[in-house]
Structure 1
């Protein structure tokens, strides 16, 4: 039987996203709100989305913006690799090597990586799983972006994802649903679960910051005609689910459900034993 704490945890973390999915489906996928919003951004005379032709806007919002999730994933991967180095060094058996690493300030970095191996591996796996889920959905729904469809000067038909979903094979060449660029911002949600593990009082700031980043990433692509607004919402829902399931596998519910420390309390910075 589920305790009150477990019930609340699963209701909040699974129930709310499912409710959001139902709202997005009914409000956007079953209506023409997406197209009505995109119509406001489209120039019917020139048959273009004007912001799609602003080079600086493209560089700033699509190219340069990728630095944040890309560097986060790279740092996590480097940390995961380094976490296996300190046990191999074994200063007790190799005191000279240990002393050398202390002098060059590498030993603290290696010890930190070793102590937080589980966290680095979680972020690596969470990013990889989120990317895999989004790519699977893209290829198995084959939805074309607005700018590619006949509605906005393109050549491909407008198709809703639920009309074209194929579970066991690729549905076609369309790769627009859910929003890929938005999902890159939403993957920063993985850091929220690390913060919750250590009961960090700024964990909610990471949560809202990651959600904001994903919405900014997604909205900029909507302005360029490369996505509908609902694609951003769907990306956030699926990335949250992927991060949550991965966090449960790495940390367990009990560790994620502990109360966040108050300002006067001192957080425990030492990691649990590595896996």
Structure 2
């Protein structure tokens, strides 16, 4: 894939989606119309919002997936420094012990993928930072907090309240934070593309689906509009893409996937071959 085509696809599609979301949702009342279908005007509640099991399963327990991924990447990054420090070539007994206990393969794997661990940690941190910045600098209140649905705060559009250099207020609803947690799994897609993994497309679709599911559950509870989920996905994708380009380079990410499985050769093994 040529560089121009790569950039056109990976930047052009999300930017086109951003324009479409802006025109379809932010320039119309489609968000409000959809949330109206979920709101009970008699009780002045979103019925699903009161369901404790739904809240536990879709909001609290669901955090396990991105949280454990980030923690696993951080542990992998820490372990990646262990194998070189152990210097098993100068300590044959220690090396033999690690091999017998099956610790050595784990440490070699961690060391060989140090850049990937670091990329995941940085990408997750940057995605979280971008979403928090946008939340603080737009000060959009969630539907359930506004006067439209029994709350006390006024409904405002993010673009009419945006302040670049300072916080715009106390609202923290745009873009969708819970949805962005699912979308941050897109970082794994770029790792898969770096290694030309044949199932990289499956990782991409699963990450997008996870973010959409996370975001939609919050829409059903009245804590977000549907467009908040789409905006979260767009910003997370662009953040992960820019981070991946900085870590791996466009030429590496644009390589075609391998359709046959190849056994990886770790640095320690390559040096003794």
Q: How far 1:106 sits from its partner (Å)?
A: 1.1
Matching residue of 1:127: 124
Establish whether residue 49 from structure 1 lines up as the match of residue 35 from structure 2.
no
1:150 has 2:144 as partner: no
Number of the residue aligned with 1:204? 201
Residue-by-residue CA offset, 1:148-192 (whole Å, 9 max, x unaligned): 000000000001000111111111110000000000000000010
Cα displacement (A) at 1:104: 2.0
1:178 and 1:125 map into 2 onto residues whose CA distance is 20
What is the alpha-carbon distance in structure 2 between the residues aligned to residue 146 and residue 15 of structure 1?
31
Query: What is the 5 A alignment of 1:108-123?
Result: 108-123=105-120
Match of 2:271 in 1: none
Following the alignment from structure 2 to structure 1, what is the Cα–Cα distance between the partners of residues 253 and 57? 35
Tell me which residue corresponds to 2:93. 96
Match status 1:192 vs 2:189: yes
Q: Pick from 148, 165, 169: which aligns with 1:168?
A: 165
Per-residue deviation, 1:103: 2.3
- Residue 100 of structure 1: how far off its partner (Å): 2.3
Question: Displacement, 1:94?
Answer: 2.3
CA distance in 1 between counterparts of 2:263 and 2:228 reads 39
Q: State the aligned residue count.
A: 268
* Partner-residue secondary structure (3-state), 2:90: coil
Give 3-state SS (helix, strand or coil) of 1:205's partner. helix
Residue range with higher mean Cα deviation, 101-110 or 215-224 = 101-110
| Corresponding position of 1:215 | 212
Aligned-CA RMSD value: 1.3
What SS class does the counterpart of residue 168 from structure 1 fall into?
coil
Deviation at 1:93, TM superposition (A): 2.1
Equivalent pair of 2:137/2:169 in contact (CA under 8 Å)? yes
Seen in structure 2, the aligned counterparts of structure 1 residues 220 and 184 have a Cα distance that, compared at 3 Å, is same
- In the TM superposition, 1:1-275 aligns within 5 A as 5-262=2-259, 265-267=260-262, 269-270=264-265
Residues 109 and 266, structure 2, Cα contact 8 Å, conserved in 1: no
Which piece of structure 1 moves more, 92-101 or 210-219?
A: 92-101
Shift of 1:198: 1.1
TM-score, length basis structure 2: 0.96
Question: Residue 53 and residue 234 in structure 1: after superposition, are their counterparts in 2 closer, same or farther (change >3 A)?
Answer: same
- In 1: Cα distance, 2:5 partner to 2:262 partner: 24
CA gap of 1:271–1:13, structure 2 versus 1, over 3 A, is: farther
Counterpart-to-counterpart distance in 2, 1:19 and 1:268:
39
- CA distance 1:155–1:254, change in 2 (3 Å): same
Q: Structure 1 residues 260 and 267, CA, compared in 2 at 3 Å: closer, same or farther?
A: same
- Shift in Å, 1:105: 1.6
Shift of 1:85: 0.7
Where 2:261 maps in the other structure, the secondary structure is coil
Residue 98 of structure 1: how far off its partner (Å) = 2.0
